[in-house]
């Protein structure tokens, strides 16, 4: 399987042209703050000062995790498929926010422990009915991990737009994400683990002990795909493949919260230049996400105390991308305003 090669967006000449275009707008220098940074980033991604967004899409990948057998979640595994049904009936938060902001939404079964049958609104990419319990063995085989990566790349390869957001659903996936975070950043497990779907303090401590024991069980490893296959989930692996392909295609990548950021940890270890394409939508209230953002040297667009997942942060941040693109494309410059005033 060939993994995408990602080029840096670094282009000093274009960066200078973008800075001049932004600074010449009818406003004090730097007064649009993060929107100016965002406009520059989008311009470098798209390799032009005439930036545009078209057909934004959010992909929500769902899968189950064998590690829930260790009692690491406040909810039973069946909630995963029940939430997928909620997505399909358009009743979840991500449905509301995507609809509100004119964003296409695709739900993908990456490995849910449930038979949905053939459903028009559900993309069936099921690798298996959930991962194995990584507290006892590797979550995925190499073949399963490769299949998940390939599905993610294929899905993004077929998209028409130039903006993509990533969401997820999977009971137990904060445990997988915390394990990935620990292995890929070196941050102590205690600082990676949070309440997830609502664990008590005792539950969080138990989750921490499960991860620490699993880390000891599997021993030292440093290759990102080894770490992904050992501790990840099918939805996380599929997001990794999707991210890599999206950056190869020079799309704008909207990064959601804790789980999606754990997939980015894997992707960025493989292809560091992918970070040039990433817009961090928000800082999740899930413990550990702020430290992930520090690891990426990222400044999120929003801080609303969200910890729902589903790609909700991406949908809520999308209007800010439109604002950045629109001010760069439509706002008057001092020169054009002066000419207009003289004409009047």
Active site amino acids: 310
Where residue 297 falls (left for φ over 0; alpha for ψ -120 to 50; beta otherwise) is left
CA distance 15 to 35: 15
* Cβ within 8 Å of residue 135, ≥6 positions away: 67, 69, 70, 210, 213, 214, 217
Strand order in the sheet with 122-124: 122-124, 104-111, 57-63, 163-169, 252-255, 278-280
φ and ψ of 271, to 5 deg: -140, 85
C-alpha dihedral, 179 to 181 to 184 to 190, nearest 10°:
-80
Q: Are 304 and 285 in contact (CB under 8 A)?
A: no
Paired strand residues for 109: 62, 124
* Sheet strands (E) in the chain: 57-63, 104-111, 122-124, 163-169, 252-255, 278-280
Produce one character per residue of 51-68: b if its CB has 16 or more CB atoms within 10 Å, e if not. Answer: bebeebbbbbbbbbbbbb
Residues 32 and 301 sit within 8 Å (Cβ to Cβ): no
Q: Cα separation of 308 and 201, whole Å?
A: 19
Among residues 284, 236, 235, 225, which one has the least CA distance to residue 258?
Answer: 284
First to last CA, the chain: 62
């Amino acid at each position: 399987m060939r993994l995408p090669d990602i080029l840096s967006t670094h282009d000093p000449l274009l960066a200078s042209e973008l800075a001049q275009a932004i600074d010449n707008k009818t406003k004090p220098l730097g007064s649009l703050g993060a929107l100016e940074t965002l406009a520059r980033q989008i311009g470098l991604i798209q390799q032009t000062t005439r930036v545009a967004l078209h057909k934004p899409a959010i992909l929500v990948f769902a899968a189950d995790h064998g590690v829930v057998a260790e009692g690491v979640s406040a909810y039973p595994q069946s909630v995963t498929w029940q939430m997928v049904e909620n997505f399909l009936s358009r009743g979840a938060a991500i449905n509301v926010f995507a609809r509100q902001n004119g964003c296409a939404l695709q739900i993908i079964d990456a490995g849910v422990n449930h038979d949905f049958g053939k459903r028009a609104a559900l993309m069936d990419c099921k690798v298996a009915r959930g991962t194995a319990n990584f507290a006892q063995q590797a979550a995925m085989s190499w073949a399963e991990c490769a299949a998940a990566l390939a599905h993610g790349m294929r899905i993004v390869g077929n998209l028409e737009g130039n903006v993509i957001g990533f969401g997820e659903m999977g009971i137990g996936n904060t445990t997988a994400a915390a394990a990935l975070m620990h292995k890929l950043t070196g941050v102590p497990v205690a600082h990676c683990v949070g309440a997830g779907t609502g664990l008590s303090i005792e539950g969080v401590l138990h989750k921490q002990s499960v991860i620490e024991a699993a880390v000891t069980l599997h021993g030292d490893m440093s290759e990102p795909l080894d770490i992904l296959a050992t501790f990840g989930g099918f939805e996380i692996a599929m997001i990794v493949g999707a991210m890599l392909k999206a950056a190869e295609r020079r799309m704008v990548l909207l990064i959601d919260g804790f789980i999606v950021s754990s997939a980015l940890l894997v992707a960025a270890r493989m292809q560091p230049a992918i970070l040039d394409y990433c817009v961090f939508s928000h800082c999740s209230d899930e413990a550990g996400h702020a430290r992930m953002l520090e690891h990426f040297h990222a400044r999120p667009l929003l801080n609303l105390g969200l910890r729902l997942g589903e790609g909700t942060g991406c949908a809520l941040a999308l209007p800010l991308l439109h604002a950045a693109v629109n001010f760069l494309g439509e706002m008057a410059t001092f020169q054009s305003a002066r000419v207009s005033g003289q004409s009047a």
